[in-house]
Amino acid sequence: MASEGQKVVLITGCSSGIGLRIAVMLAKDEKKRYHVIATMRDLKRKDKLVQAAGDTYGKMLTLQTLDVCSDESVKQCISSIKDRRVDVLINNAGIGLVGPVESISMDEMKKVFETNFFGVVRMIKEVMPDMKKRRGGHILVISSVMGLQGVVFNDVYSASKFAMEGFCESLAVQLLKFNVTMSMIEPGPVHTEFEAKMVEDVSKKEYPGADPDTVHYFKNVYLPSSIDIFEALGQTPDHIAGCTKKVIESSRPRFRNMTNPLYTPIVALKHADETGGLSVHAFYNLLFNFGPLMHVTMNMIKCLTCGCLRSPTISPT
């Protein structure tokens, strides 16, 4: 139970990666400003979180079962909290999907949207009425730069993030009237077990329905480039957690918060040309015409930066 003066923070998807690191970082806040309710679909996967939380577990951090794809699960979780009080909601739960779109079933696509989009909507719908009544609250969504700029072979994942960005951008206007803040956290590549396993799995898969050329481009052009980018530009879950904490603690939180400065010019391409041709052709050339050059460039960046350009870029104010 939260102490007087503490903010109640509910976080989805805390079994690993970004969600786990945000939960632990807030629970270990030196000023003890937060009572963290870390949630996950299956509490059998709690061991990593409990170990990382250390002596804050059971004090500053408690665990709850929550499946963002279930109306009943969401309602039960929020109703179990004293006075249904959630001061800060962090929507982190999500799944990825990559590959030729011809080989992806409609059920797989729906699953991505059910988690990445409708899961967020479900959570916001449950906590928003209480926040509006209290005239206060902060809703954060762990989005992605792929919600701002589409990326080849990430069609469905990007679409789910674009949908979430549009939903939250629209809702943010109304929420301001009730003193409720909406913030998007937009990482680029992040080094997590989830990402590493996904790359390993997709490289071994067969892609029925996709033509041989497309499969070749995906496996032999896109995947190597993707690995180069992750190794050169990827941030850690702790970086994203640190950025998220700064946004929570800001006196005037921004709506959009990109965590990696190297992605700012990439996203800016689409706004520099209203026809959209500039960004489309730039990404085409990077992937298909300048692939070997990009490989060399990414290795140079990896050697030169030593992580300095991968640090969080969001200031507290």
DSSP-derived 3-state class of residue 128:
helix
Q: Is 125 annotated as a binding residue?
A: no
Among the listed residues 57, 157, 222, 263, the single catalytic one is 157
Q: Is 16 annotated as a binding residue?
A: yes
76 to each of 80, 262, 264, how far by Cα in Å?
6, 41, 40
Q: Is 168 annotated as a binding residue?
A: no
**Buried-exposed string 72-89: b where 16+ CB fall within 10 A, e elsewhere:** ebbeebbeebeebbbbbb
Least Cα distance to 149 among 139, 161, 138, 140 occurs for 161
Q: Is 77 annotated as a binding residue?
A: no
Question: Tokens 């109640």 sit at which residue?
Answer: 8
Q: Is 34 annotated as a binding residue?
A: yes
Least Cα distance to 210 among 104, 71, 97 occurs for 104
Q: Is 144 annotated as a binding residue?
A: yes
Q: Is 67 annotated as a binding residue?
A: yes
Cβ 52 vs Cβ 29: under 8 Å? no
Q: Count Cβ atoms within 10 A of the Cβ of residue 252 and give its class: 0-12 exposed, 13-18 middle, 19 or more buried.
A: exposed
Least Cα distance to 145 among 265, 306, 299, 12 occurs for 265
Q: Is 48 annotated as a binding residue?
A: no
How many C-beta neighbours within 10 Å does residue 115 have?
Answer: 22
222 in catalytic set: no
Q: Is 147 annotated as a binding residue?
A: no
Q: Is 170 annotated as a binding residue?
A: no
Q: Is 239 annotated as a binding residue?
A: no
Q: Is 306 annotated as a binding residue?
A: no
Q: Is 33 annotated as a binding residue?
A: yes
User: Residue 54 and residue 51: Cα distance in Å, rounded?
Assistant: 5
Which residues are part of a known binding site for substrate?
144
Which residues are part of a known binding site?
13-41, 67, 144, 161
Which residues are part of a known binding site for NADP(+)?
13-41, 67, 161
Catalytic residue positions, numbered: 157
